[in-house]
Amino acid sequence: MVREADPSLAGQDILSANEHERLAGMHEGARPAFVTARRMLRMALGSYMGLLPGAVPLMQEGAGRISIDGFAEDEPPYFSVSHTGAAEEGIAAVMVSETCPVGIDIQQLDPSVDWRRVAERRFPEEDWMLLSAMSDEIGRLMFFTLWSIREAFVKMEDGKLMPYLRNLKIDLTARPPKLATPTPKGLAEAFIYFDFNPEHDLMIAAVAEKPIQVELDLSIKHISRRPDPLRNRAD
C-alpha cells in the first residue's frame, strides 16, 4: 500500500502513547509520513489479527525495528514500512505478508542527488562501471532502482545500510530479478520486485525470502500544505 503523507495527521488518534511521544519529538516536516505509515500499518495488521488498529501492540526501541509485542521475528504477520519526502510531498508505504519476511523501500528520484558520485563511492565496482556509461536519465533511474532494492533487503534483514550498498549484487537482467551474491546475512535466493511510477518520480522496491505475489495498491493525491495539526503538542 502506497499513499501520500497527510499533513493533517489524520489517524493520529489510533497511535499508542509511545508513538505519540515519538511524534512530538519529531521535526514538523517528518510527522505526516510517520503518522500516515503507522496508520496504514495498524490498519493492515489489525485486519490480519482481528484487532482494532489502535489495539495492535506495536513496539519500537529507539531507532530500531518495529515489532509486535508477543510475536517472534519468525512468526507472521511479517511487515515492512518506508516513507520519503517532506510534509508537502511525502509518501508512505507499507507491506504485509502472511508467508515470509519482507522488505519495502520507496525513493523519489531527487534531481539534486549527485548519483554518479554516490554510485562511484558506495556501489560495487561492476555497478559503477555500468552506470557511468549510461545517460544521466537512464543512469539516475538505474541508480535509484539498485539503491531501493538494497535498502529493501536492509529492512527485511534488519541490517546496516553500507554493507548492502557496497557488497550486495543484483542481477536485473534475470526474469525475475535475482541475487547475484548472497546478502550480508547469508541469504542466497530471494524474491525481488520493483516498479517505477513516473507521475511521482517514485521507485518502489519490495523483496521477500520466498516467492510471493505483490499486489501494488498505489493511490497518491496532491495535498496542500496546512498548519501543523499535532494534537499532543505542549503549547
pLDDT in tens, 155-174: 999 999 999 999 999 999 99
Residue 233 pLDDT:
42
Cα distance between residue 221 and residue 36, in whole Å: 13
Read off the pLDDT of residues 112-143 as tens digits, 9 standing for 90 and up: 999 999 999 999 999 999 999 999 999 999 99
Average pLDDT over residues 31-36: 92
* Single-letter residue type at 97: S
Record the cell numbers describing residue 225, joined without a space.
500544505
Q: How many CB atoms lie within 10 A of CB 35?
A: 27
**Whether pLDDT at 146 is above 70:** yes
Q: Cell triple for residue 53?
A: 488498529
- Burial class from Cβ neighbours inside 10 Å (0-12, 13-18, 19+) for residue 42 reads buried
- In sequence order, what DSSP letters do the residues of 42-97 get, joined into one string? HHHHHHHHTS-GGGS-EE--TTS--EETT--TTSSPEEEEEEES-TTT-EEEEEEE
**pTM assigned to the model:** 0.90
Neighbours of 108 (CB within 10 A): 17
Model pLDDT, residue 235: 35
pLDDT digits (tens, 9 = 90+) for 170-229: 999 999 999 999 999 999 999 999 999 999 999 999 999 999 999 999 998 865 544 444
64-117 tens-digit pLDDT: 789 999 999 889 999 999 998 754 568 999 999 999 999 999 999 989 999 999
Q: What are phi and psi of 8, to 5 degrees?
A: -75, -5
Domains of the chain, start order: 102-208 (3.90.470.20)
Q: Phi, psi (5° rounding) for residue 152?
A: -65, -40
Cα distance between residue 168 and residue 213, in whole Å: 23
